[in-house]
Structure formats: structure tokens, C-alpha cells
Amino acid sequence: MQRPAVDVVVPVAAANGTELGAVVARLRATLALRPDDTLTVVDNRGLGVRDPDVVVAPEVRTSYYARNRGAARGTADWLLFLDADVTPTAGLLEALFEPRPEPSVGVLAGAIADLPAAPDAGIAVRFASSKRAMSQETVLAHGPWSFAQTANAAVRRSAFTAVGGFCPGVRSGGDADLCWRLRAAGWALESRPEARVVHTNRDRVSGLLAQRFRHGTGAGWLASRWPGALPARRWPGLLRWGLARAFAGAGALARGDRDAAVLGLLDGPAVWAFELGRRVPNRPLRRGAVRPPPACRQQANAGTR
């Protein structure tokens, strides 16, 4: 099958030019691009790296602003959004379009597999790998609130343009919001489980909890914007559950069951970080201001779904 042309867009908030260059090199080595495809890595920090595949966009430090900037660079019928911490597997682009999506399909959700935890991996990596925290299957199982995570999601350009792209001024939750606006506009979402990327998890507990906290800020924003989506947990029940999980983890540790101990001891802090994040505004670190498109300024209406 002759697949359509694809513009691949990857936002990067690298600490330095070496880190950014490593992302570019890895993508070039693993993506089987055709002459009519493009790769755009968006430098969201303004590191000043000179590379034909790098676009500098530090004005608003969010991945969604960066993705909008990257999407504007190409003209292909499909956009593929990947995260900087994933590695495409062989045949990713072909698998996304097998079978060929119907004209009504606006989003293709590729699979996200965690990099297997090595025997000597730290507890943060072991926890995230056991929980399959980044699995696309998890968010695709949310019924009317299912969505595709932008760690591996293809979006039809005409659909993306029609709804105004991502809301650029938020730190988290922009992928769910885009998918729900597309669905409200009549576009369908399909899963492509054979189109896989491999995700590298955070290697420190502090990084893991910070990620969960940031996801919580997005959940709070989405819940207020889309009534009925992602309801908050009740704190009394959450506290009881967290203590029970901690006791279970301590018991597993005493028995020498390391994996069960990691799950029990970190389950509570990870969920608490997520729920605490709901109480924090979903705002970016800004260098400048950006005016969101109308679709992002207006309150979404769940009744249109």
C-alpha cells in the first residue's frame, strides 16, 4: 500500500545542544522517511542549534505551542506527533496507515510500549514499567472520553487545521482536548496497535512524581473545560487507599518481593501527586505571551460530543 505523506513533529525541551542533537540523530536513524515526508524537531528552549530539521520556538514553553509551530512548517496530509523520550520501531509509518483510514478518521492512535526495566533498574523505572503508565490502551479505554496521547498520534492535517490545532498555552492535557474537539466536530479516532514506539521512563522518583503532578494540572483543566471528564477522587477514600497500599508495600518488602514493594510504596504518592496537581493552574513558563485560538478560549460543551 502506498501510504500518504507524513510530517513528523517532535517537541524538545532539552537542557543543552548535545541532548537536542541526540534526539535528532535517534529520530533520523529510526524513522523510515520517504522523500515527501518531513521531520521537524522543535527546540522549545531556544538553544540555538543549527540544523535543517530543527525549528526554534522558545516564546511559550509548552509542548503544544511547539507542536503547533512544527505543524505549520509542513504541508503533508498527515501529521505524526511523537515525544522526545520515545523511539520509533521499524515500520511505524507504514503500520499507522494499515488499513488505510476512512475519510471520516481524524486521529490515529499508535501504541506506546515502555522500555523493559533492566534487572538493576531503579524503583521509579520499575514502578512506571509495572503500571504501564504511558500505555495508549489506558486512555483509549475511557469510553466517550478516550483520546490519543501525543507520544504517538497521527492527525489528519485538514482536521487539525479546522479545529485550530492544540491549545498552546497549557502545560498538560492538550492532546485529550484536541481529540475531544475533533470528535465534537465529527472526526473519528482509530487505534493502530501495530504502530509502536518505545517509551523511556523517568529514572528518579522525583522526576516520576513531578510528571504525575504535571499530568494532574492537565486533568484539573480538562475537568473544568469538559464537564464529566476525569472526575477528581475523594480525599478521605484516597487517603485510606494510600495507607492500605503503603502497608501492602511494606509487607512485600519484608517478604523480599521487590516488585510488589515498589508498587505498594509508590502507588499512593503517585496518585496523590496527580490529585494535588489538579489544584495548580495549568500554565506554562513563558518568555512571551500567546493568544489562544477561539476554540481554546471558549468553554467546551460536552453536549456537542
71 is a domain residue: yes
Q: Where are the alpha helices (DSSP H) in 232-301?
A: 235-255, 258-277, 294-297
Question: In the 3-class helix/strand/coil scheme, how is 188-199 assigned residue by residue?
Answer: EEEEEEEEEEEE
pLDDT in single tens digits along all 305 residues of the chain: 689 999 999 999 999 999 999 999 999 999 999 999 999 999 999 998 899 999 999 999 999 999 999 999 999 999 999 999 999 999 999 999 999 999 999 999 999 998 777 767 788 888 888 777 778 988 998 889 999 999 999 999 999 999 999 999 999 999 999 999 999 999 999 999 999 999 988 888 999 999 999 999 999 999 999 999 999 988 888 888 888 988 888 898 889 888 888 888 889 999 999 999 999 999 875 544 455 555 565 444 433 33
Interior/surface letters 258-291, b for 16+ CB within 10 angstroms, e for the rest? eebbbbbbbbbbbbbbbbebbeeebebeeeeeee
Distances in Å between the Cα of 128 and the Cα atoms of 124, 159, 204, 212 are: 6, 33, 11, 11
Alpha helices in 48-204 (DSSP H): 63-71, 92-96, 123-131, 136-140, 157-162, 174-184
The answer to the question of residue 76 being in a domain is: yes
State the residue range of the domain holding 10: 6-203+286-304
pLDDT at 291: 54
- Structurally, the chain folds into a number of domains equal to 1
| pLDDT of the residue at 284 | 72
240 occurs within a structural domain: no
pLDDT at 302: 37
Q: Note the pLDDT tens digit of each residue in 175-200.
A: 999 999 999 999 999 999 999 999 98
Q: Do residues 113 and 194 lie in contact, with contact meaning Cβ atoms separated by under 8 Å?
A: no
Does some domain include residue 273? no
Cα separation of the two ends of the chain: 33
pLDDT for 305 equals 34
Which CATH number fits the domain that encloses residue 177?
3.90.550.10
Could you tell me if residue 98 is inside a domain?
yes
In a domain, 129, yes or no: yes
Task: Kindly state whether residue 183 falls inside one of the protein's structural domains.
Answer: yes
